[in-house]
Structure 1
Amino acid sequence: MPDIMGAKDIAFPHLGIYLENVPKSFTIFGFTIALYGVVIGIGMLLGILLAAHIAKKENMNPDVIWDFAIYAVIFAIIGARLYYVAFSWDQYKDNLLSIFYLRQGGLAIYGGVIGGFATLFIYSYTKKINPFKIGDCAVFGLVIGQIVGRWGNFFNREVFGGYTDSLFAMRLPVDAVRASDIKQTHLDGMAAMGDVNFIQVHPTFLYEGVWNLCLLIAMFVFRKHKKYDGQMCLIYLGGYGIGRCIVEGIRTDQLLIPGTQIAVSQLLGFVMFIGAVIADIVIRMRLKKKQA
């Protein structure tokens, strides 16, 4: 490992990984493009491709997925932004135009999930299609989009936890991180390499990405044993919900319910998990009664 850390470097010291000059953006023809947005865009495209592939295997017309995705992507982005702004209102109330500055980050996955599912039901109603058939394909794409999209947080130096010296500890130069994301726990563990001060944190974006990868594998396994339309949606909601609930407890940039110290995403994740489990049990019981 180098003895000096650059202002744009990122390191995982205990894994022996040192990345130099990791950019947040690049410029084409004088226009600055944020890698955060590029990565999310790639995740969305891969997600749509996977969902269309699953639809074809389920004897559905993959064009339905592409058509649905056009609306889902738009309203997922709107939902993700509104969710983030709603629970970070103090950052935007004095400059409402900053709500539209998406290149600076500030998208909440839960808002995207809510926007996506709302679009699913509206789209299915207008097209007179079973929403759960589409949903069971779409959630595969949603998970792969989340797995890839989390790396946008890596380039943005965001979505991390408090100080740690664990195996997966990540070092970030202080000046490369938004001031609002640096908490006292980070300052207490701050150190220096050369002229650069750095913080060493839990890479919670990575934890969530690994969890989602495990969830995706589990979904592929359970898909072969699906009992009813909508079951893959419930597996996603329950699996992602409990994973996010756990990881959210480590993050230091939690969005809180106004007037409380309750992390809204942690609470929502727990509710999603419990709701999915109860719904699955109820549906299975009804299916058994019909078969009896």
Structure 2
Amino acid sequence: MLSYPNIDPVAFALGPLQVHWYGLMYLIGIGAAWALAKMRMKRFDPSWTNETLSDLVFLCAMGVMLGGRLGYVLFYDLQSYINQPLLILQVWKGGMSFHGGLLGVILAMVIFSRKQKKPFFELADFVAPLVPIGLGAGRIGNFINGELWGKATDASWAMVFPTDPLQLARHPSQLYQFALEGVALFLILWIYSRKPRPTAAISGLFVTCYGIFRFMVEFVREPDAQLGYLAFNWVTMGQVLSLPMMAFGVGLMLWAYKRQASLAAR
């Protein structure tokens, strides 16, 4: 069994203001994605300026934060927030939903694409390879917070999390998600996007791979206590939300390649 590093969730304090690692991970993820986008910007659209990119990053960051928080409230713990509405402001304690954040980013890109008169899927293909950086950083934040741990196991790499009331040796599922949603997904999209692809194919690959990785990890991740399993003693909310992602992603890739072949045949 491995020892959990037990990092203080508070990175540092400025008087009464406490800066949490969870929030810093989001800033690091957004900053790194911004830097990478700046490197790729001119190849994507030579007319773009740093101000154009800043507007896109700002809108997407707002989409992540607002969509992620509202998604968690609606999908995972609505009753608690109805009972205590001010809990929604306590984002440093965690409680963000990827699927809600994705919807928020999609809305942000719709707004931006209309403003810039840029086809939506061209913009989405530019943004998709940047997203795993933020996903990976967020999972490290979950690990530092000692939240979203996995099921009990006797694996040699299991950990006992201080936030676990049962103090069981568990899968460090946050690290699994960091490896899959962060590292592996980034490499897959980065390598795939190095060559010209049909419009929407990169977006489709992102949605498909994330859905597969998330569905897999849910088998070893402890379901949210307030929800538990939704069916058959193994189906989780994360899996329910990921299934349509996989179907949509595969369909989007098929459509993208079919559309390219149709245009080429004209």
Compute the TM-score of the two structures, normalised by the length of structure 1: 0.80
Give the secondary structure class of the aligned counterpart of 2:7.
coil
CA distance, structure 1, for counterparts of residue 161 and residue 117 of structure 2: 50
Q: Does the alignment pair 1:245 with 2:234?
A: no
Corresponding position of 1:290: 263
Q: Contact 1:237–1:272 at 8 Å: present in 2 too?
A: yes
Of 51, 59, 67 in structure 2, the residue corresponding to residue 79 of structure 1 is 67
Structure 2 residue matching 1:93: 3-state secondary structure: helix
Counterpart selection for 2:91 from 59, 81, 102? 102
**By how many angstroms is 1:154 displaced?**
1.0
1:272 corresponds to which letter in structure 2? M
Query: Residues of 1 paired with 2:58 and 2:34: CA distance?
Result: 10
Output aligned runs, 1:46-125, within 5 Å. 46-60=32-46, 61=48, 63=50, 64-86=52-74, 87-125=76-114
Secondary structure of 1:23's aligned partner:
coil
Q: Which 4+ residue blocks in structure 1 deviate beyond 6 angstroms?
A: 255-259
Query: What is the CA–CA distance in structure 1 between the aligned matches of 2:147 and 2:224, rounded to whole Å?
Result: 11
Q: Any unmatched runs of 5+ in structure 2?
A: none
Does the residue aligned with 2:150 lie in a helix, a strand or coil? coil
Kindly provide the amino acid, as one letter, of the partner of residue 62 in structure 2: I
In structure 2, how many angstroms separate the alpha carbons of the residues matched to 1:18 and 1:161?
13
TM-score, reference length from structure 2: 0.88
User: Counterpart of 1:228 in structure 2: which amino acid?
Assistant: P
| Deviation for aligned residue 1:102 | 1.3
Q: CA deviation at 1:62?
A: 5.5
Contact 1:83 1:110 in 2 (8 A): yes
The yes-or-no answer on 1:204 pairing with 2:189 is no
**In the alignment, which residue of structure 2 is the partner of 1:195?**
none
Task: Tell me which residue corresponds to 1:154.
Answer: 143
2: CA distance between counterparts of 1:219 and 1:230?
13
Does structure 2 conserve the Cα–Cα contact (< 8 Å) formed by 1:49 and 1:141? no
Do the aligned partners of 1:140 and 1:216 also contact (CA within 8 Å) in 2? yes
Output the amino acid matched with 1:216.
Answer: F
1:62 and 1:228 mapped to 2: Cα distance?
25
Letter of the structure 2 residue corresponding to residue 279 of structure 1: L
CA shift, 1:201, in A, is 0.8
Is the CA contact 1:255–1:263 (under 8 Å) kept in the aligned structure 2?
Answer: no
Structure 2 contact 33–134 (Cα < 8 Å) conserved: yes
What letter is aligned with 2:71? Y
Q: How much does 1:254 deviate?
A: 3.8
| Residue aligning to 1:30 | 16
**Residues in 1 aligned to 2:49 and 2:214: alpha-carbon distance in whole angstroms:** 30
Amino acid of the residue matched to residue 46 of structure 1?
A: A
Cα gap change, 1:260 to 1:171, in 2 (>3 Å): closer
Q: Aligned partners of 2:195 and 2:226: how far apart in 1?
A: 38
- Counterpart CA distance in 2 for 1:36 and 1:121 is 28
Moved more, 219-228 or 103-112: 219-228
Higher mean C-alpha displacement, 140-149 vs 258-267: 258-267
Aligned length: 257
- State the match for 1:7 in structure 2: none
Distance 1:94 1:120 in 2: 33
Offset, 1:124: 0.7
Is the contact between residue 48 and residue 69 of structure 1 (CA under 8 Å) also seen in structure 2?
yes
Instruction: Please state how far the C-alpha of 1:59 moved relative to its aligned partner.
Output: 4.1
Deviations along 1:219-244, one digit per CA (max 9) or x if unpaired, are 12111233222221111111111111
* 1:221 maps onto 2:182 in alignment: no
Which structure has greater strand proportion?
1
8 Å CA contact retained: 2:158, 2:169: yes
Secondary structure of the corresponding residue to residue 83 of structure 2: coil
1:52–1:66: 8 Å Cα contact kept in structure 2?
no
Q: How does 1:11-22 map to 2 (within 5 A)?
A: 13=2, 19=5, 22=7
